[in-house]
Amino acid sequence: MNMITPVNDAAEAPRSGTLSVRLAAGKAEIDAVQALRYAVFYEEMGAIPDSMTLLTKRDQDRHDDVASHLVVVDDSATDLACGIVATYRLIDAPAAAMAGGFYSASEFDIAPLLGNGRVLELGRSCVHPRYRSGAVLQLLWRGIAEFVHPRGIELLFGCASLPGTDPEAIADQLSLLGHHYLTPAATRPVALADRFVDLRRKAEGTYDTRQAFMSLPPLLKGYLRLGGTVGDGAVIDAQFNTIDVALVVSTERITSRYLRHYLRNGGVAA
């Protein structure tokens, strides 16, 4: 039986039926997280593995050893390692210092964020195909909310991915983000100069804003509905077959009361 590690040490692990959300406990569960990430990112989404990744069939990097790994566990699952069906990687400033920096810094200049209170990087989120439902996303957001508040986290950020590597194929979506969802200048991340892809690919009024929003990935829409904003510029990640934008969300927008109201109304349902 897995040792339970609540998201908030003072609380029980939040549950929904046979599902619960908590922090991964021990090497076996982190290995299961990396195996799930490999299955989703490489086998399903077409990321290109290096030789070690292909050999181990694990998605892993230097940040895994210092990060906290949020997991949704299905207690009834007998065919999945440790019952882990979804995950999120959480990296705070002390963990990033041990790893030599935040993961996002490989794509974006995040310096404007780091002087604005306590921050937490969210990344490597994925859900097993059988479990892509509103219930699982709700548990992940509940887990994030319970993680950040006792720790005094003020800003959440990370790389949010859109599928494919052709900016013109998602010109409407990128333009929507660039015209309507830019982070205020004081805290705005900017794509690194040698990787910068302009978001504003189309002029205002030349694309359907509603359709562009509805065609965004569900998790990205959830961030935006929670008041999330994006940095200036996108980055093509050829290895992961994605185009990444920098996401910023104030934790004031995900207080427990607001989150309960938001989820009750289906705001981040998959």
Of 44, 34, 102, residue with least CA distance to 71:
34
User: Taking residues 122-132, what's their average pLDDT?
Assistant: 94
Q: Is residue 1 assigned to a domain?
A: no
pLDDT band at residue 259, thresholds of 50, 70 and 90?
low
User: Taking residues 30-46, what's their average pLDDT?
Assistant: 96
Instruction: Report CA 244 to chain centroid distance, whole Å.
Output: 11
Quote the CA–CA distance of 122 and 244 in Å, as a whole number.
13
Average of per-residue pLDDT values in the chain: 89
User: Taking residues 168-190, what's their average pLDDT?
Assistant: 97
Q: Is it the case that residue 8 has pLDDT exceeding 80?
A: no
Expressed as residue numbers, the domain containing 129 is: 15-264
Quote the CA–CA distance of 77 and 18 in Å, as a whole number.
9
User: Taking residues 137-149, what's their average pLDDT?
Assistant: 88
pLDDT number for residue 260: 54
User: Taking residues 8-35, what's their average pLDDT?
Assistant: 86
pLDDT number for residue 3: 39
pLDDT number for residue 267: 46
Cα→Cα distances 177→42, 194, 201, 221, 244, Å:
27, 21, 10, 11, 12
pLDDT band at residue 262, thresholds of 50, 70 and 90?
very low
- What's the number of domains the chain is made of? 1
User: Which own/partner pairs from 98-103 qualify as long-range (CB within 8 Å, at least 24 positions apart)?
Assistant: 98/66, 99/62, 99/63, 99/65, 99/66, 100/62, 103/61, 103/63, 103/158, 103/159
Q: Is residue 217 assigned to a domain?
A: yes
pLDDT number for residue 254: 65
Q: Is residue 9 assigned to a domain?
A: no
Q: Is residue 270 assigned to a domain?
A: no
Quote the CA–CA distance of 103 and 253 in Å, as a whole number.
24
Q: Is residue 3 assigned to a domain?
A: no
pLDDT band at residue 190, thresholds of 50, 70 and 90?
very high
Helix 134-148 vs helix 256-264: crossing angle, to nearest 10: 170
Q: Is residue 54 assigned to a domain?
A: yes
User: Taking residues 110-137, what's their average pLDDT?
Assistant: 91
Q: Is residue 2 assigned to a domain?
A: no
pTM beyond 0.85, yes or no: yes
Of 263 and 27, the structure prediction assigns the larger pLDDT to 27
pLDDT tens-digit series, residues 51-104: 999 999 999 999 999 999 999 999 998 888 899 999 999 999 999 999 999 999
Helix 218-225 vs helix 134-148: crossing angle, to nearest 10: 50
Q: Is residue 7 assigned to a domain?
A: no
Of 14 and 31, the structure prediction assigns the larger pLDDT to 31
pLDDT tens-digit series, residues 213-257: 999 998 899 889 889 999 999 999 999 999 999 999 988 766 554
Q: Is it the case that residue 10 has pLDDT exceeding 60?
A: no
SS3 call for 267: coil
CATH number of the domain encompassing residue 195: 3.40.630.30
Residue percentage of the chain with pLDDT more than 90: 74
Instruction: Report CA 93 to chain centroid distance, whole Å.
Output: 17
Q: Is it the case that residue 14 has pLDDT exceeding 80?
A: no
